[in-house]
Chains A and B, each alone.
Chain A
Amino acid sequence: MPLPVPGPPEALYIHVPFCISLCPYCDFVVVAGAEARGPASRIPGYVAAVRRELELRADTLDARWGAVGSPTRPRLGSLYLGGGTPSILPPDAIAGLIRLVELRYGLADRAEVSLEANPGPDDRGDPAALVAAGITRLSYGAQALDDATLKSLGRRHRAADVVEAVAEAREAGIESLNLDLLYDVPGTSVEGWMTTLDWALELEPDHLSLYALTLDDPDAEGLTGPLGDHLPTTRGARRWRDTARAGQDEDRAAAMYHHAVHRLAEVGFEAYEISNWARPGHESRHNLAYWERRPYEAVGPGAHAFDGAVRRWTAARLDTYSNALTPADGSPGRLPPGGEEALDAASAAAERVILGLRTSSGLPAEAMAEPPLAEHIGWALAAELIDVTADDRIVLTTRGRLLSNELFARLV
């Protein structure tokens, strides 16, 4: 097994940890309420800190890989502002961040510049200003397209807001548009989900991310300590999740997934990853960088970076983050604390197989003969989890996608 080799980043993720309100199922690093808007907003302080982090990380990359644009330091193919709700940042702050990235990291011609937005009227931002700032791709957290389900999920927006947001984005000239939707939501039915998908298709998105509502417990996973990459789950969210879990149903979830596979294929969307569908040419280049294990840089609290050999993350707490980068005493600031993990050859090989199989391009046939897949390939073929395509690629079947952890848990 080859040892992992580091390389310069091909993509950059900026985590924007602000939302107007918290959704009870979400465990991304987010602060909300008075910290996200109004006189006590921490957004300006965050913007200063993240700009500082962008500078410091760029200094390190310059020293390691040479100046931006040199043969050893290609410009970025993708920049992704995720959150949280990056669309609640002031437009000039977004424009400023993109300019800074262009200057210190470089953006390739026709680079993908994505931004996550909420569809609600007071947090979707101004698409025209976003396009002017350089955003090429918008990803709306629609989650559902009927008001009852949106309400049960604790979302602030209504179905009509999604329609409006999409129209505004198209008007402004956004090239590529994604909708996030959740399935296996308590109280929903397979029929309701079929309608939701049809309505979503009527909005003519270029990309759909369909996620199963997954109620994790980051505290139990040990991720929420002082230097953890997640924030502790609030008591309210914990209660909500405990109740919601009882309303989930794996058979219903599987039926919903099967329907999506079938329906979206009909209209020419490719299921290019377990949870992601796109019209040809609209695959998220940023996400592909994650799944193809290309090096990516990341900034912001709780953000994860990968240089091809080491996975690195930043502590989630905003105070810790800001205090390190923009100390109150005016001193120059240093990189925020966090953690890292150097991958050994076996972990890297397992990741390559798992992430590769999650995508529709799968793995080359040779992977069947190599660890860690070699020892499980017979079983996985017999169990109809994987298939070999006409052009000799190993891919998951639809059944294999739904049961992928049964295979992956044997590979890690």
Chain B
Amino acid sequence: MVTNPQDRLRNFSIIAHIDHGKSTLADRLLEATHAIDPRQMTSQVLDSMDLEREKGITIKARAVRLEYTADDGLLYGLNLIDTPGHVDFSYEVSRSLQACEGAILVVDAAQGIEAQTLANVHLALREGLTIIPVLNKIDLPSAQPEVVMEELESVLAIPREEVILASAKEGTGIAEILEAIVSRIPPPKGDPAAPLKALVFDSHYDPYKGVIVHVRLAQGTLHAHDRIRVMASGAEAELLELGFFRPQLVPVKAMRAGEVGYVATGLKNVREAQVGDTITTVAAPAAEPVPGYQEAKSLVFAGIYPVSGEDYPLLRDAIEKLHLNDASFTYEPESSVALGFGFRCGFLGLLHMEIVQERLEREFDLDLIASAPSVEYQVVLTNGRGIVEVDNPAHLPAIIDIEEIREPWVRLSVVTPSTYIGPLMELSTNRRGSFVDLEYIDPVRVLMRFELPLAELIVDYYDQLKTRTAGYASMDYEEIGYRAANLVKLDVLVAGEPVDSLSMIVHREKSVSIGRTLAERLKQLIPRQMFEVPIQASIGSNVVARETVRALRKNVLAKCYGGDITRKRKLLEKQKEGKRRMKRVGSVEIPQEAFLAMLRTDEA
């Protein structure tokens, strides 16, 4: 493996709204530079996780080094740093962008600018990156390159002369993109003789090599025998190996300022070298880390429990192992009267929560129940006793001790055809949101901004947004801090017993309607039991909704099975398995879906 001189390096990433063709473009670039043998080419090469391929999204950042002989006859090393496409992972995106000097902005020629296009471009501009605009999918009959170029010019001030027309699917425009990377993106800077500063933009755990971090060297040189220090965590290690991504790991002896590669640290836990941290050498440490490091911040919290209590030790092991690979979720043991022993986990967002739960279930073969997600509230106690943070509604202090409850708010950007302005205004108003402003992107599409409580967003806002706009609207959001609100705790009693995992913190004005909806949903989800089961929603001692699951009348094998006793037994075993998958609360068997009842409510 050759290491290129600094002026023959280019570090770039590809930014795009979901489904605009980022992964396909990456595949074409890999092919065109022979980074991958065409016979081994699968689609979405960089998305190696099963879940990523199934969902068609990128969850983890990836990097790959391409060798490209440009039209000037010189060989360049191009480091492509792939970024996650979902808003939940925007912190990872921003760190990946910090490792680059340029970004290819992919915009679907039929769809035009979407919410994440805007968010990603703003992130890239904030990092001072050179942007290479690419209109993708120009082969589509519905492509409108003229309209979209107009949008880019008016909304993002991108001159149309800079835009490259491409079809990653058909391979058109790829050569032009490669040339633009070399000619438009500046080479990295940074003094190879200065003390080492290597920005960690991704990390994963390898059972043989320990924590492997993906780094961009901002300055200095790293040698294969160096002892390293991770500046924010303070961890030190004798490094095991360093090298480039081709995309498989290829070791090298040294890496200099401007390079992108991996470092096998031998560390045992990704927490010791998290995304955003800076690596330096013990021998000649840098004085300051690369600025801007922050710990991944959990926005959404939920309890994760094994369906059967005896699986708790398996869940504990699974969470610990998964956390080695994904330090962006947090966990701590918690117990619930209804669900037994489990963990309270914090996630970057709802998609992240879904991914973590699915990975735990798939990779560790577990059956899990997740309680309804919650945000983190700040509760100001009376008599100046300070502020407590509450991410589990069941732990809300008694009303008498509460001076004030504050909840996190977000600023939401929505890009939509202008015909849906009305429905989206209504949606946000229903969700306690306030309209901020509106801007026309082109004659028929607008960018709308709202502010609303995060708690209202995580229920099913995204689904509602898609439903109300026939799938056309896209969204992005950022946190804007905490605001006081008139919030109360809504409790649920099943057969007279409070079910702590079903408690929610809701706005007082909406509490009655939410209570009713929740009780109705639970009535649908809880199967008939041997006795009548009352379901109540209450605020304090005030019951605001009541439903009844009628008693089961018949559950019997009353059919002629003749001498086939085996089949009878199998049918009973299946019922037993069905019961095992339910949670017994008091005398009532509650299926897993009931604990997520509020996530699936229709708008009242």
Contact A405 B557 (CB under 8 A): yes
Q: Give the Cβ gap from B224 to chain A, nearest Cβ, in Å.
A: 56
- A230: nearest chain-B partner, CB-CB: B567
Contact A313 B553 (CB under 8 A): no
**Chain A positions within 8 Å of B573 at CB level:** 409, 412
A341, B564: Cα distance in complex, Å = 12
Q: Does B579 reach chain A (CB closer than 8 Å)?
A: yes
A180, B564: Cα distance in complex, Å = 18
Q: Give the Cβ gap from A386 to chain B, nearest Cβ, in Å.
A: 13
Contact B556 A402 (CB under 8 A): yes
CB 8 Å contact bits of A90-113 with B (1 = contact, 0 = none): 000000000000000000000000
- In the complex, which range does the number of interface residues on chain B fall in? 20 to 34
Contact B558 A351 (CB under 8 A): no
Partner of A180, one of B553, B555, B560, B568: B560
The 10 closest A-B pairs by CB, nearest first: A254-B553, A214-B559, A409-B575, A212-B558, A304-B563, A405-B555, A412-B572, A250-B554, A409-B576, A304-B564
Contact B563 A306 (CB under 8 A): yes
Chain A residues engaging chain B, CB cutoff 8 angstroms: 13, 28, 82, 180, 209-212, 214, 216, 221, 223, 229, 250-251, 253-254, 257, 274-275, 290, 296, 298, 303-306, 311, 313, 341, 347, 350-351, 354-355, 383, 401-406, 408-412
Residue of A223, A303, A406 with most chain B CB atoms under a 10 A cut-off = A406
A351, B561: Cα distance in complex, Å = 14
Contact B575 A290 (CB under 8 A): no
Contact A406 B552 (CB under 8 A): yes
Residue of B554, B562, B564 with most chain A CB atoms under a 10 A cut-off = B554
A211, B564: Cα distance in complex, Å = 16
Contact B553 A412 (CB under 8 A): no
Q: Give the Cβ gap from B560 to chain A, nearest Cβ, in Å.
A: 6
A303, B565: Cα distance in complex, Å = 11
Q: Give the Cβ gap from A13 to chain B, nearest Cβ, in Å.
A: 6
Partner of A211, one of B555, B559, B567, B570: B559
Q: Give the Cβ gap from B259 to chain A, nearest Cβ, in Å.
A: 57
Given contacts A347-B569, A351-B565, contact A409 B579 (CB under 8 A): yes
Q: Does B530 reach chain A (CB closer than 8 Å)?
A: yes
Q: Does B125 reach chain A (CB closer than 8 Å)?
A: no
Q: Can you list 26 contacts pairing A with B, beta carbon distance less than 8 Å?
A: A28-B562, A180-B560, A210-B558, A211-B559, A212-B554, A212-B556, A212-B559, A214-B559, A221-B570, A251-B553, A253-B554, A296-B563, A304-B562, A304-B563, A304-B564, A306-B563, A306-B565, A313-B566, A383-B531, A402-B556, A404-B556, A409-B575, A410-B576, A411-B572, A412-B569, A412-B573
Contact B569 A305 (CB under 8 A): no
Contact B572 A408 (CB under 8 A): yes
Residue of A251, A290, A304, A409 with most chain B CB atoms under a 10 A cut-off = A409
Contact B556 A405 (CB under 8 A): yes
A250, B530: Cα distance in complex, Å = 13
Given contacts A354-B572, A405-B575, A409-B579, contact A82 B562 (CB under 8 A): yes
A214, B572: Cα distance in complex, Å = 15
Tell me the dominant secondary structure on chain B's binding face. loop
Question: Number of A-B pairs whose CB atoms are under 8 Å?
Answer: 104
**Chain A positions within 8 Å of B564 at CB level:** 229, 304, 313
Contact B559 A275 (CB under 8 A): yes
A411, B252: Cα distance in complex, Å = 64
- A402: nearest chain-B partner, CB-CB: B554
Given contacts A180-B560, A274-B558, contact A223 B567 (CB under 8 A): yes
Contact B560 A257 (CB under 8 A): no
**Chain B positions within 8 Å of A408 at CB level:** 572, 575
CB 8 Å contact bits of B22-41 with A (1 = contact, 0 = none): 00000000000000000000
Chain B residues engaging chain A, CB cutoff 8 angstroms: 528, 530-531, 552-560, 562-573, 575-576, 579
Contact B569 A350 (CB under 8 A): yes
A206, B433: Cα distance in complex, Å = 74
Contact B572 A409 (CB under 8 A): yes
Residue of B530, B556, B569, B570 with most chain A CB atoms under a 10 A cut-off = B556
**Chain B positions within 8 Å of A351 at CB level:** 565, 569
Contact B553 A250 (CB under 8 A): yes
Residue of A210, A304, A351 with most chain B CB atoms under a 10 A cut-off = A304
Q: Give the Cβ gap from B59 to chain A, nearest Cβ, in Å.
A: 34
Contact B565 A355 (CB under 8 A): yes
Contact B563 A221 (CB under 8 A): no
Given contacts A209-B560, A383-B530, A405-B572, contact A221 B555 (CB under 8 A): no
A350, B573: Cα distance in complex, Å = 11
Contact B563 A305 (CB under 8 A): yes
Q: Give the Cβ gap from A300 to chain B, nearest Cβ, in Å.
A: 11
A203, B68: Cα distance in complex, Å = 93
**Chain A positions within 8 Å of B559 at CB level:** 211-212, 214, 216, 275
**Chain A positions within 8 Å of B575 at CB level:** 405, 408-409
Q: Give the Cβ gap from A395 to chain B, nearest Cβ, in Å.
A: 15
Q: Give the Cβ gap from B557 to chain A, nearest Cβ, in Å.
A: 6
Contact B530 A214 (CB under 8 A): no
Contact A402 B555 (CB under 8 A): yes
Contact B553 A253 (CB under 8 A): yes
Contact A406 B530 (CB under 8 A): yes
Contact A412 B558 (CB under 8 A): no
Contact B563 A298 (CB under 8 A): yes
A86, B555: Cα distance in complex, Å = 31
Partner of A403, one of B554, B563, B569: B554
A303, B567: Cα distance in complex, Å = 12
A351, B571: Cα distance in complex, Å = 13
Contact B558 A403 (CB under 8 A): no
**Chain B positions within 8 Å of A223 at CB level:** 567
**Chain A positions within 8 Å of B531 at CB level:** 383
Contact B556 A311 (CB under 8 A): no
A205, B571: Cα distance in complex, Å = 31
Contact B552 A412 (CB under 8 A): no
**Chain B positions within 8 Å of A402 at CB level:** 553-556
Contact B558 A214 (CB under 8 A): yes
Q: Give the Cβ gap from A5 to chain B, nearest Cβ, in Å.
A: 17
**Chain B positions within 8 Å of A411 at CB level:** 572
Q: Give the Cβ gap from B550 to chain A, nearest Cβ, in Å.
A: 8
Given contacts A383-B530, A403-B552, contact A13 B569 (CB under 8 A): no
A28, B565: Cα distance in complex, Å = 14
Q: Give the Cβ gap from B533 to chain A, nearest Cβ, in Å.
A: 14
Contact B552 A13 (CB under 8 A): no
In the complex, besides A304-B566, A403-B556, A404-B556, 7 extra interface pairs with C-beta distance below 8 angstroms are A13-B562, A180-B560, A304-B564, A350-B569, A383-B530, A404-B555, A410-B576
**Chain A positions within 8 Å of B560 at CB level:** 180, 209, 211, 275
Residue of B552, B558, B568, B569 with most chain A CB atoms under a 10 A cut-off = B558
Contact B555 A406 (CB under 8 A): yes
Contact A13 B563 (CB under 8 A): yes
Contact B563 A290 (CB under 8 A): yes
Contact A290 B558 (CB under 8 A): no
Contact A290 B552 (CB under 8 A): no
A212, B570: Cα distance in complex, Å = 19
Residue of A223, A229, A303, A403 with most chain B CB atoms under a 10 A cut-off = A403
A212, B561: Cα distance in complex, Å = 12
